[in-house]
Amino acid sequence: MSYKIGLLYGDGIGPEITKATEAIMKAAVKKHGIDVEFPVYPMGWEGIEKYNDPVPELTKEGLKTCDAWVFAPHDSASYPEPHYSRANPSGTMRHYFDLFCNARPAKSYPGVISRVGEADVIVVRENSEGMLPDRNMYKGWGEFMPDPDTVILNSVFTRKAAERVAHEAFKMSMKRKKHVTIAHKANVIQWSYGLFRSVIYEIGEKYYPEVTVDDYHIDAMTAHMVKRLKDFDVIVTTNLFGDILSDLAGELTGSLGLAPAINTNQTQCMAQAAHGSAPDIAGKNIANPVGLMLSAVMMFEWLATNRNDNAFAEAATTMQDAVLSAMEDGVLTPDMGGKETTTSFTEAVVNRINI
């Protein structure tokens, strides 16, 4: 079979880390004999300058033909109006393609100091509704101002969204420690978070009885993660809480620059590191590409399952082993306490793939 994996280089450090990730993907698919085309589509400032749109229609249409794509960071905070006030490229992609599940692992890595010792968790974030106004409405915007001094924010919680993200969380847990933890605020926001929590318990009891399920209020959850992150496995939560908890988990285990993620629907996968575009170091060749590289590893694992092609699983293992081997050998970028450039780190990983 032949596949298409799109590349969107984005803003800030986006082009540097995406090209680094592109290099290891091309080395891995060549080694394992996978026929992959890597089309490039504009996103971010490139889209604004060429098409007056950070996610132009030709990008959306092109990605419809792709099995998956690598989505770089974007610097939407710097976009001019009207783009600044609209949904950012991440929100646009998640809403347009209904990428309802955002899986963000965090684990301790060799050569990197963890603030919580050994840990290995996945934060599974419901990605389509909740409190984020850029994706919780079919039409319109979930945030509005009835007068200059008042903002009203609508939050949306549905059984459908809770059910489908619950299935994703439980399927992940079945391959791990069979432990799912729900993070919520049902003690205060009773109906919405209460529905989210109860639906996940129902899915667990009905379809995954061998999985242990527990739950914590979001404020307590943050404290427990700081004290004993190693005790958790799969944490499933809502859109806003998932954004916060995944960043916390990434930083606790060493660096947010290491944090990978994928966004998925039933047929497509978007690899996207959890960190931002870091415009202050853009172009300096010191950005850490590990988060996006490991996002590509997750994407290959997803393709192996959803395209029933074990060659992607083998390629994913090859990429991950090469990245971790480099780190174990002390090949580290400055944020990890090393002296490597983005380029030299990438070359070290590619060399290990090609052995």
Q: What is the CATH number of domain 1-100+259-355?
A: 3.40.718.10
Asked if 226 contacts 114 with a C-beta cutoff of 8 angstroms, the reply is no
pLDDT, tens digit, for every residue of 278-326?
999 999 999 999 999 999 999 999 999 999 999 999 999 999 999 999 9
Q: Does the pLDDT of residue 72 top 80, yes or no?
A: yes
Q: Does the pLDDT of residue 252 top 90, yes or no?
A: yes
Give 185-247 as a DSSP string. Answer: -TTTSHHHHHHHHHHHHHHHHHH-TTSEEEEEEHHHHHHHHHHHGGG--EEEE-HHHHHHHHH
Q: Which of 50-64, 227-241, 255-269 has the lowest mean pLDDT?
A: 255-269
Alpha carbon dihedral 49, 52, 55, 57, in 10-degree steps, equals: -120
3-state class of 4 per DSSP?
strand
Asked if 186 contacts 193 with a C-beta cutoff of 8 angstroms, the reply is yes
Pairwise pLDDT comparison (266 vs 141), residue with the higher score: 266
pLDDT for residue 27: 98
* pLDDT, mean of residues 12-39: 98
pLDDT for residue 10: 97
Q: Does the pLDDT of residue 256 top 80, yes or no?
A: no
Report the distance separating Cα 191 and Cα 162, nearest Å: 13
Report the distance separating Cα 135 and Cα 119, nearest Å: 32
Report which of 232, 226, 299, 305 is spatially closest to residue 269, judged by C-alpha positions.
Answer: 299
Within the chain, all domains assigned CATH 3.40.718.10 are found at 1-100+259-355, 114-253
pLDDT for residue 141: 84
Report the distance separating Cα 217 and Cα 82, nearest Å: 38
pLDDT, tens digit, for every residue of 110-129?
778 889 999 999 999 999 99
- From the number of C-beta atoms within 10 Å of its C-beta (0-12, 13-18, 19+), residue 81 rates as exposed
Q: Which fold has domain 114-253?
A: Isopropylmalate Dehydrogenase (3.40.718)
Q: Does the pLDDT of residue 257 top 80, yes or no?
A: no
| 3-state secondary structure string across 140-182 | CCCEEEEECCEEEECCECCHHHHHHHHHHHHHHHHCCCCEEEE
% of the chain exceeding 90 in pLDDT:
89
This prediction has a pTM of: 0.93
Mean pLDDT across the chain, nearest whole number? 95
% of the chain exceeding 70 in pLDDT:
100
Report the distance separating Cα 315 and Cα 322, nearest Å: 11
